[in-house]
Amino acid sequence: MKANLTVADHSDYVGSYESDELEARYQIVSEDGKLILRHRKYPDVDLNVITRNQFSTPHSWMENLLFNRDERGRINGFEINSGRVLHLKFRKM
């Protein structure tokens, strides 16, 4: 069942995420009632909700994002699982 997120829920996801392995940084912002994935080299894309912790994008290298939470339920990062890429971690800054 697809999760429904409110605009208030968006604040949990908003922030900068960095991968040490790729030396890459992405931003997640909330605009016009949507969560947007932003990178300085690529066009912005919508994050499409699948479940409360799982989203998809149209980028082939980032089709499936799985958000990780700490023991208090706060988002501390996400991992990418797409094609041959499995468990590529980005931590929330």
pTM for this predicted structure: 0.89
- Please list the pLDDT of the chain residue by residue as tens digits (93 residues): 566 777 778 999 999 999 999 999 999 999 998 999 999 998 999 999 999 999 999 888 889 999 999 999 999 999 999 888 899 999 999
**Measured between alpha carbons, how far is 60 from 79 in angstroms, rounded to an integer?**
15
What gap in Å lies between CA 87 and CA 66, rounded to an integer?
9
> Which amino acid is present at 52?
R
- DSSP type of residue 47: P
Decide: residue 62, CB within 10 A, 0-12 exposed, 13-18 middle, 19+ buried: buried
pLDDT for the residue numbered 85:
87
